[in-house]
C-alpha cells in the first residue's frame, strides 16, 4: 500500500502538530488500556455512557459557532475536543464512524453510511424499520476492530474524515501510538470525534464530554447540514414534552436494574450498571425511572469489574430488569430464550420482575437522534405501559430527506 502523501487528497487538511498537541495529556491508560482481546465498545467492560453538561476544561468556543467560514474561499473549521480545530477545504463525502451513535447521526443528516464502524454488529439498524424512507445498509460496512485495529485498514478505507476520538484508539488496546494517529490524519483524512458514549474511561477525564445533541451539532457542522440538525432539535424538544406528559408521579415509578447478562441467552451472572449521565442511559433518565441498584451496596461495573449473581439480585428484587447485549433479538426471541430461562431457574423465578414478566431488552450501547426516539418510546411502553406513539414518523422521514 503506497503512502505517498504528495498524491493524497488535498480537499481536507489538519496539522499533525496541532493534533498531537490536542491529545497531549489525554492518553493515560486505564484498567483495560493494554487489553488486546477487548473489542472496545461491546463487551461488558465497554458499555459506557456520555451525556453530561459542559465541562470546565473545554476550550471550544461553544456549540453555536462550530462552523466558521474562512477567507471567503469555502473552507471552514470545526472545533471539538480532544483534537481541537480541524480545517476543511470542502465538505467530506466519505467517512468512518466510531460506532452506531455517530452512524445514526449520519442517517439523520441524510448521509451515505460510513465506510466502517468499530463493530457493525453493534450498529442495530432494525430501529429504522418503522420509519418510511429511513434505512441504513451495513452490508458493505467494515469492522474497524478485528482482534485489534490495523492502521493499514484506514488507508484501505481511504475516508475523507474519521469521526473517532483518537484517544479511544490510543487507550483501548496496544497497537496505536500518537504518531500513527498523526500519520492517518495527514495521510488519509483528519480525526474529529469524542468518546461520548463512555463515562468510564480515566483517560477522558481531562477533556470535555458532549451531550447527544451537542455531538450531533458538531457532525452537522462537519458535513454542512445544519438545517437537518436544527429540524431534529425542534422535533426532539416536542418529543421531550410528550415524554414528560407520560411520566407518572415519582412515587409511582418502578425501580429498575440495568444489567449485562452472562451468558446472554441463559444468564447466570450479571455486570451491574447504575444509571449514569451517558447516552446509553438517556431514555431511562428522561423517563425518570428509579435506579434499584443505586439504593444498595452494589457498585457499578466500572468501579471494580465485578458481577452479581441471582442471590444478590433477589436481595435487590427490582420491579423491572433491563438486560443489555440483547438487541439482536426481537422481543419474542428474547422472551423465548432469556425470559424462559429465568422462569425455569430455581432462584431467578423468585424475582418479582420475572414473576410479572417485566424483564426486557435494555437498549443498545449507542444512541443517535433517531434511535433515541425509537428506544425512548419502547422504554415508555416497557416500564409505564404507554401505548401511544410519542414521535411523528413522517416528520422524521421528511427531515432525513431534507424536506423539513
Residues, the chain: 404
Residue burial 317-339, b: 16+ Cβ < 10 Å; e: rest: ebbbbbbbbbbebeeeebbeebb
* 249-400 matches 5-236 in CATH topology: yes
Rounded distance between C-alpha atoms, residue 404 and residue 231, angstroms: 7
Reference 342, options 260, 262, 268; nearest CA is 268
Contact 87, 348 (CB under 8 A): no
For the chain, residues with pLDDT lower than 50 are 1-15, 24-25, 27-71
pLDDT at 21: 52
pLDDT of residue 316: 96
- Give Cα separations from 397 to 134, 175, 315 (angstroms): 6, 41, 46
Instruction: Return d(Cα 362, Cα 57) in angstroms, integer.
Output: 32
CA angle 168, 366, 205 (to 5 degrees): 40
What are the extents of the domains in the chain? 5-236, 249-400
Q: How far apart are CA 233 and CA 11, in angstroms?
A: 30
Cell numbers describing residue 381 = 411502553
pLDDT value at residue 221: 98
**Could you tell me how far CA 286 lies from the centroid of its own chain?**
16
What pLDDT is recorded for position 231? Answer: 98
Region of residue 42 (left: phi > 0; alpha: psi -120 to 50; beta: else): left
12 sits in which H/E element: strand 12-13
> Which candidate, 344, 281, 336, places its Cα nearest to that of 310?
344
Is the bond preceding residue 82 a cis peptide, omega within 30 degrees? yes
Domain 249-400 bears CATH identifier 3.40.50.1980: yes
The pLDDT score that the predictor gives to residue 276 is: 85
CATH of domain 5-236: 3.40.50.1980
Q: How many CB atoms lie within 10 A of CB 4?
A: 7
Question: 274-309 burial by CB neighbour count: b if 16+ within 10 A, else e?
Answer: bbbebbbbbbbbbbebbbbbeebebebbbeeeebbe
Long-range contacts from 198-201, C-beta under 8 angstroms, 24+ separation:
198/41, 198/46, 198/48, 198/49, 198/50, 198/278, 199/48, 199/49, 199/50, 199/52, 199/276, 199/277, 199/278, 200/46, 200/48, 200/49, 200/302, 201/30, 201/48, 201/171
What is the predicted pLDDT for the residue at 18? 52
pLDDT tens profile 13-36? 444 555 655 564 454 443 333 333
Q: What digits encode the pLDDT tens for the residues 65-111?
A: 444 444 457 899 999 999 999 999 999 999 999 999 999 999 999 99
Q: Extract the C-alpha cell encoding 19.
A: 493534533
DSSP 55-109: PTT-----GGG--EEETTTTEEEEEETTTEEEEESS----EEESSHHHHHHHHHT
Amino acid at each position: 500500500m503506497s503512502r505517498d502523501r504528495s498524491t493524497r487528497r488535498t480537499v481536507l487538511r489538519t496539522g499533525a502538530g496541532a493534533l498531537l498537541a490536542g491529545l497531549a495529556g489525554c492518553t493515560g491508560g486505564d484498567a483495560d488500556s493494554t487489553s488486546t482481546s477487548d473489542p472496545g465498545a461491546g463487551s461488558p467492560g465497554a458499555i459506557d455512557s456520555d451525556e453530561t453538561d459542559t465541562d470546565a476544561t473545554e476550550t471550544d468556543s461553544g456549540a453555536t459557532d462550530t462552523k466558521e467560514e474562512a477567507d471567503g474561499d469555502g473552507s471552514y473549521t470545526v472545533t471539538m475536543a480532544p483534537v481541537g480545530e480541524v480545517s476543511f477545504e470542502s465538505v467530506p463525502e466519505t467517512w468512518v464512524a466510531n460506532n452506531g451513535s455517530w452512524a445514526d447521526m449520519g442517517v439523520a443528516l441524510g448521509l451515505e453510511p460510513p465506510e466502517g464502524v468499530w463493530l457493525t454488529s453493534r450498529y442495530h439498524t432494525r430501529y429504522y424499520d418503522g420509519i418510511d424512507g429511513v434505512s441504513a445498509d451495513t452490508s458493505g460496512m467494515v469492522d474497524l476492530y478485528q482482534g485489534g485495529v490495523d492502521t493499514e485498514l484506514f488507508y484501505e478505507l481511504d475516508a475523507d474524515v474519521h469521526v473517532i476520538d483518537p484517544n479511544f484508539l490510543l487507550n483501548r488496546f496496544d497497537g496505536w501510538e500518537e504518531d500513527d494517529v498523526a500519520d492517518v490524519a495527514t495521510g488519509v483524512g483528519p480525526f474529529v470525534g469524542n468518546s461520548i458514549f463512555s463515562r468510564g474511561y480515566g483517560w477522558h477525564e481531562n477533556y470535555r464530554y458532549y451531550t447527544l445533541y451537542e455531538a450531533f451539532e458538531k457532525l452537522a457542522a462537519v458535513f454542512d447540514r445544519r438545517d437537518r440538525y436544527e429540524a431534529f432539535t425542534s422535533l426532539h424538544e416536542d418529543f421531550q414534552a410528550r415524554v414528560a406528559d407520560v411520566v407518572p408521579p415519582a412515587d409511582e415509578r418502578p425501580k429498575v436494574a440495568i444489567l449485562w447478562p452472562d451468558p446472554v441467552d441463559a444468564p447466570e451472572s450479571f455486570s451491574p450498571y447504575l444509571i449514569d449521565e451517558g447516552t446509553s442511559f438517556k431514555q431511562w433518565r428522561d423517563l425518570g425511572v428509579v435506579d434499584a441498584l443505586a439504593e444498595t451496596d452494589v457498585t457499578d461495573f466500572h468501579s471494580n469489574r465485578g458481577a452479581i449473581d441471582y442471590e444478590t439480585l433477589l436481595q435487590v428484587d427490582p420491579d423491572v430488569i433491563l438486560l443489555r447485549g440483547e438487541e439482536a433479538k426481537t422481543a419474542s426471541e428474547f422472551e423465548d430464550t432469556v425470559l424462559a430461562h429465568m422462569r425455569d431457574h430455581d432462584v431467578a423465578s423468585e424475582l418479582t420482575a420475572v414473576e410479572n414478566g417485566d424483564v426486557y431488552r435494555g437498549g443498545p450501547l449507542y444512541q443517535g437522534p433517531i434511535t433515541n426516539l425509537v428506544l425512548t418510546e419502547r422504554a415508555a411502553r416497557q416500564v409505564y405501559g404507554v401505548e401511544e406513539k410519542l414521535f411523528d414518523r413522517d416528520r422524521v422521514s421528511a427531515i432525513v430527506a431534507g424536506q423539513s
